[in-house]
Structure 1
């Protein structure tokens, strides 16, 4: 919204305020106010936005130099700067400047704020990424400045999830400053200061930055008046106000002209102005002991288009996050049980690249096209590192297992590792060299029992020397099972056909899923056990809508102007069973094509889909629609380390990798969960669950600028997009169905490692860590930053209290973890025998 419209909205809101509260401050009679104005020097720095990272690097150095020079000239001026990444750049590029900053920090004139690696997007990253932002940021500050930040600071972040207060509190932050959503975007929250209560009950004193996080020459008096008006209208007992000044976005900070203007206003009309640090302001505000309202909800919405802008960066981020978490778990267990070296610095560097690219203008998709070349490379680096770490760790673990079995000399063993803290049943694909090309080998589990499988085409076309197959594996929590292909005995191929697959239907013992062969959509999802139809219309349908706003979607509440749908389909049967049926549906819209590969296992009611979209449309939105029978159901979204229930309003909403609709009919309670590997934006109305896959504006287009046909701009999202999703029907509600655990397992899938026959002390199947719970899970295992303990992140996922025994089976170490609803608890397990297991905060302290 433009500043004119925002100010008009504010004037209307103030005019509607209770009588006696809306009298504005007059610049001709400024002494009428008792308010004290704390002028906070600030330079909002976007290291990437309408420029790339190399320019952002130079911007940081120039801004820091300018701020230090101003502080020399004006001894009362103080400065706040967030983002540990910026300080690391300065440390590496200009150690002398860094020493000057250290001196100013010690003086209290340069405030370290946020404690995070960068000012991250808060909606799209996973919960563990928010933890690592603070862990690495605060540890950097502690190492180089002897202290950590106490003030959370996210002035330009586009929304704040309900789970955030707990995370910030457990990172040593005792208050929070934010700007967005502004008053015009969230008019039900007019108080400029409030206690923000998180999902778990954590409370954080929170300050709404009024109007802007910067002010240049000529803007100062306007900022004073806006701040005074907001406080006088909605928090009249508070008389201490913070106003941020300085040049921002491309850096800059306090200028001589702005400082002189503030000095002039202080001498002339505003004697209560003072230059101040932000820490001084917060401390003085607390001394007032004012009762402020409590807000027990998420702080949304701003720029709803950013939930789906540049969908590829969302996929890169979620992929890299997942890869690092799985690699860390395996490396931690290999270090604990096998004394394998833990690559702490390697993983830390990889994480920092992920965290940097979670900066709000990168992950939100609002930067220029060239910036995503750097982002792609950074994410690729992190995923590559994670893969290498995982391979070494799994080899170390596998070396302990007795894979040698004299009964099966002509066999190839392979280990399947489950990175989740609960048992997992999942289809496993494996390809290897054939020891004998003449027969179909027998697949055996850890007990030596034959298990059914389905042979698949090899990755390279028709390579007879190799074999590829899919089978169902039962895996212990945070453990493994060793399987083997026995080439000495041919498999029994007379297995009962448990999946019926054709071009119009996929069916097993649980469900029958029918497809419309003309539209290329799911026409029916029938639960055979309950006799219930789950859909009310064509599902998996590609819907095209008008993308009439800018990249940010500043004026978007929902994408609701439908233009058309993909159709003119052709369907091909790819896998007829018996373990898995798979069909590919190709459909078209305009110049774009959509290929959906639907797969149904013999062992589950879930259906997975791999999507390949070749997008050629401009100024259009692409959604996938799933109209369910749950028009009156309860809608639940995942958020970073939490969940939230929202109404089915049809508005564009942020979410993690799952959402669920649960309800009841005459046959009982049931639901349908939609899980995916990339999306952050969703719309749900009258039971129709939609993933907003992408929207294709011109790159980094911001209102009020208008894009004309003659401008020859480049458009976002053009070309190939690949992603996956899963439909999960269930009885009962999402809690009883363990949807949150299933969504994690969907991302952190079992890992396969081919091995050899060798001796070892470990059995062919075991759990390495036990944490039995349907309501909680171990989401992360890592080496502590001091490398003296392992860190276990335990998260309650269902909103219920629970006590869960934690035991490390081969190490004979155990403890009980008590979790309150939605609690994130960090457990420190010392590597040195005899030292106690204890609970620490998110900084591992």
Structure 2
């Protein structure tokens, strides 16, 4: 009888490292699973292979407990019976940075190769939506396929497949195309990744099982090859899989049943797919569905985790890595590959979709906080070591030339590790005098000497000797210690001050040195300390001597922007270059939330509580020549929680879309403190929000309604600026239409644009009133995990103190015609990326050095290009990576300020390709471009 179909049975387990159980409880179960798998492979040659969920960390976790099993594991990996990689962990793609997604592939490939072989499968079984650039990343890693479970077709309760939505593809097979045009064969788990789970061996059960399973799978298959995934979440190995397959073969001789693997299945499908498969382009976010199963609101579950992750990623990729490159280029420090790998892997252990998404039980997220700290501590140590090397190599001797009689210079350096020149307010701590315990002076005498040290007068100078306005604070006596490489720790007391000033035009990927001058001459830099705000009404004009940015009651301005704080605490901003006034910025909105860690659900009939008609208290907080700030205080009255119906519905597993709970009638005060800051040279307005949440079951957002009418908006995503519709597709039924962002979201019409940058606030929504409203989520407090059972999560109520940082950046859209006076959209994006990266400062001495007082290690130009990484490869090359945010081809030029033996193009795996002409590197639309600068040997 002719065999019309081949049924590929792939044994696997989907291993959420932590989820409804804490990590170690899942860990114990993993050890049992792996022991059983190795035993089956050993005794049953017909058990052909097992897919280890696309992530190498499972083997790391197993061998941590069973190191004696390594040789056996490697044997089966080499033989192709255990398939590992290509990822280190199965991440959430939208909640991890562009570079974190690359490191995940890079370390996953390296680890899989060490175990014996890399599974070249683009595996996204349960990502909560898929990034648009995934096909390009996979192609650059040598992978031509992608297997995914979400983003095109919805799944419902317990992962049941919906039958009512309009699909982008009629088949489970499709072509998935990235914005740059890269294509992979996309394979959707149309019946989920458990459609071949627990295959019966008894003929009667097997017949009924396979009749239904084959019918379901063949319905979506475009080829004679049918995929059956034999496994599910934390599924133990089916030890009698080979017997079950033999039973199926006897019952259905017209089909060919094989114990297969995903690579063989992808190869077979590739050779038999129809000529004209559907093409899906860019992001897969289930936009053509009813919208209830996108799980997008995991972007706002436990936002404190997202903020920790944002700081951790920025520390490693935008500070530790480039600074370690700079230090290595001095010839005085090896590049710490081993430490960076450890820090990255520790951070990425928080990146699985049930971890970073904040949708697990409380114990999981408690442990994540410790991992974030561990990764951060290593990153901070790398930064500190690198800065010590660099500061000691800067030639600060020119500052001797600015000294007057009796003065002493205290140089400090400011580092800009972003890819563009930068100006802004930096803070540095300086020791004016230090006395080591080894000096033999008694504690009392040491402290007396330091306490009586005169602090003033002080002045601050730049490398050209120009005096700069600054603010200083006496920090008193501080204890400290050195940890020398060649002797025991060296404790000391020192007298410290803190200075703040506007560091102007610090070069990209470089540093600029300044010096605090301490002496007996009259100082001009800190003269502003004697001044005070002239009038209780704040109506005095800018004082010419002080150059204050405060221009009136609740008003401040610089050369670019004028900011007025209205009676309700909202901001009205004049963009001076365009003349447009943007109103209703920074209004707070609080609503009820009877959903769960996965999805937001506003109670029926619930009306938002806002600050729109609420009087605010406004006070001047800071008035310096380089910066001004106002504090705004609101007191909202909100319900203490949902009503009692919610807890009953949670216990009884009432699905969140069908809940009838409302908000409690008991009210509580919810105080919100906002600080709004404008810097003298700033083209954006810093907004810092702080509150102590003691309420439950609610969501807090900040709203921006600038009066811009637009049909689409832009959002920073993974290696792209994604354009998204403001109004969802016709199939969308969810009243909420939230999205993911990385650094920013922006709107524009023909004459005005507004970009809202954030630090670790990945959820936003564009609401349509008479014009578009940007809503950024600051807090979402819920009490259960959700999904397949009742898992209370009191920690997800996020009680306690919280803070959020955003930046308002007006800009000129391309349609308006850019002028030198106006910030264009690309400039606004650059400011948003720089907003993620802290200023780094360190005191040094007056000494000779090989580095000039102002220096850039790598200068480059490229309209529309965004620098993403500067690091070193294991092959000893400096790695620089950009992505083209534009839809047109752009030209990149690069000028390294260090010796280069040769420059080569590369892929994201840091493999050298053809030679690169640094004077003319073409970057295609949306292309990710990596260049290797090979150093002389």
Q: TM-score, normalised by structure 1?
A: 0.87
Deviation (angstroms), 1:166: 1.0
Seen in structure 2, the aligned counterparts of structure 1 residues 478 and 830 have a Cα distance that, compared at 3 Å, is: same
SS of match in other structure, 1:338: coil
Seen in structure 2, the aligned counterparts of structure 1 residues 285 and 485 have a Cα distance that, compared at 3 Å, is: same
Map 1:163-562 → 2, pairs under 5 A: 163-181=133-151, 183-184=153-154, 187-190=166-169, 191-214=171-194, 215-216=197-198, 228-229=214-215, 232-233=218-219, 235-236=221-222, 238-246=223-231, 248-256=232-240, 260-269=243-252, 271-291=255-275, 292-301=277-286, 302-325=294-317, 326-404=319-397, 405-407=399-401, 408=403, 409-433=407-431, 437=454, 439-455=456-472, 466-488=497-519, 489=521, 490-491=523-524, 493=527, 495-500=545-550, 504-517=554-567, 519-522=568-571, 524-535=572-583, 537=584, 539-553=585-599, 562=607
Determine the structure 2 residue equivalent to 1:92.
64
Task: Report if the CA contact (8 A) 1:104-1:110 is conserved.
Answer: yes
Task: Report if the CA contact (8 A) 1:771-1:777 is conserved.
Answer: no
Q: CA RMSD in A?
A: 2.9
SS of match in other structure, 1:749: coil
Determine the structure 1 residue equivalent to 2:762.
680
Seen in structure 2, the aligned counterparts of structure 1 residues 406 and 654 have a Cα distance that, compared at 3 Å, is: closer
Deviation (angstroms), 1:73: 4.6
Task: Determine if the alignment matches structure 1 residue 827 to structure 2 residue 819.
Answer: no
Determine the structure 2 residue equivalent to 1:613.
691
SS of match in other structure, 2:861: coil
Task: Determine if the alignment matches structure 1 residue 697 to structure 2 residue 775.
Answer: no
Seen in structure 2, the aligned counterparts of structure 1 residues 72 and 556 have a Cα distance that, compared at 3 Å, is: farther
Task: Determine if the alignment matches structure 1 residue 727 to structure 2 residue 803.
Answer: no
Deviation (angstroms), 1:129: 0.3
Q: 1: distance between equivalents of 2:722 and 2:284?
A: 12
Deviation (angstroms), 1:264: 2.8
Deviation (angstroms), 1:445: 0.8
Determine the structure 2 residue equivalent to 1:127.
98
Determine the structure 2 residue equivalent to 1:47.
17
Q: 2: distance between equivalents of 1:45 and 1:235?
A: 26
* Equivalent residue in structure 1 for 2:39, among 69, 94, 101: 69
The range that moved more, 309-318 or 696-705, is 696-705
Map 1:768-783 → 2, pairs under 5 A: 768-783=857-872
Seen in structure 2, the aligned counterparts of structure 1 residues 391 and 465 have a Cα distance that, compared at 3 Å, is: closer
SS of match in other structure, 1:771: strand
Determine the structure 2 residue equivalent to 1:738.
827
Q: Deviations over 1:219-255 (max 9, x none)?
A: 987885676556655554x110111012x32342324
SS of match in other structure, 1:57: helix
Q: 1: distance between equivalents of 2:798 and 2:928?
A: 36
Task: Report if the CA contact (8 A) 1:735-1:775 is conserved.
Answer: no
Q: 2: distance between equivalents of 1:209 and 1:651?
A: 25
Task: Report if the CA contact (8 A) 1:731-1:737 is conserved.
Answer: no
Q: 1: distance between equivalents of 2:131 and 2:209?
A: 28
Deviation (angstroms), 1:541: 1.8
SS of match in other structure, 1:584: strand
The structure having more radius of gyration, on CA atoms, is 2
Q: Deviations over 1:590-615 (max 9, x none)?
A: 34322111101122231102221211
The range that moved more, 592-601 or 183-192, is 183-192
SS of match in other structure, 2:858: coil
Determine the structure 2 residue equivalent to 1:804.
892
Deviation (angstroms), 1:832: 2.6
SS of match in other structure, 2:366: helix
Q: 1: distance between equivalents of 2:824 and 2:30?
A: 46
Map 1:585-604 → 2, pairs under 5 A: 585-589=632-636, 590-604=668-682
Deviation (angstroms), 1:340: 0.9
Q: 1: distance between equivalents of 2:562 and 2:761?
A: 27
Determine the structure 2 residue equivalent to 1:20.
none
The range that moved more, 49-58 or 718-727, is 49-58
Deviation (angstroms), 1:658: 0.6
Seen in structure 2, the aligned counterparts of structure 1 residues 501 and 91 have a Cα distance that, compared at 3 Å, is: farther
Q: 2: distance between equivalents of 1:393 and 1:203?
A: 41
Determine the structure 2 residue equivalent to 1:795.
883
Seen in structure 2, the aligned counterparts of structure 1 residues 454 and 177 have a Cα distance that, compared at 3 Å, is: same
Q: 2: distance between equivalents of 1:478 and 1:795?
A: 17
Deviation (angstroms), 1:776: 1.7
SS of match in other structure, 2:264: helix
Q: 2: distance between equivalents of 1:227 and 1:194?
A: 21
Seen in structure 2, the aligned counterparts of structure 1 residues 312 and 378 have a Cα distance that, compared at 3 Å, is: same
Q: Deviations over 1:318-367 (max 9, x none)?
A: 11010011111011111122331222111110000111110110001101
* Equivalent residue in structure 1 for 2:609, among 528, 548, 564: 564
Deviation (angstroms), 1:164: 1.5
Deviation (angstroms), 1:730: 1.2
Deviation (angstroms), 1:289: 4.5
Structure 1 residues not aligned, in runs of 5+: 1-30, 834-845
The range that moved more, 584-593 or 744-753, is 584-593
Q: Deviations over 1:437-457 (max 9, x none)?
A: 464522111111112234568
Task: Report if the CA contact (8 A) 2:429-2:496 is conserved.
Answer: no
Structure 2 residues not aligned, in runs of 5+: 156-164, 287-293, 434-452, 479-493, 528-543, 637-667, 728-735, 815-822, 904-917
Seen in structure 2, the aligned counterparts of structure 1 residues 460 and 637 have a Cα distance that, compared at 3 Å, is: farther
Seen in structure 2, the aligned counterparts of structure 1 residues 433 and 71 have a Cα distance that, compared at 3 Å, is: closer
The range that moved more, 757-766 or 795-804, is 795-804
Determine the structure 2 residue equivalent to 1:12.
none
Q: TM-score, normalised by structure 2?
A: 0.79
Q: 1: distance between equivalents of 2:217 and 2:419?
A: 49
Seen in structure 2, the aligned counterparts of structure 1 residues 465 and 552 have a Cα distance that, compared at 3 Å, is: closer
SS of match in other structure, 1:253: coil
Task: Report if the CA contact (8 A) 2:362-2:796 is conserved.
Answer: no
Q: 1: distance between equivalents of 2:348 and 2:793?
A: 33
Determine the structure 1 residue equivalent to 2:848.
759
SS of match in other structure, 1:588: strand
Seen in structure 2, the aligned counterparts of structure 1 residues 683 and 810 have a Cα distance that, compared at 3 Å, is: same
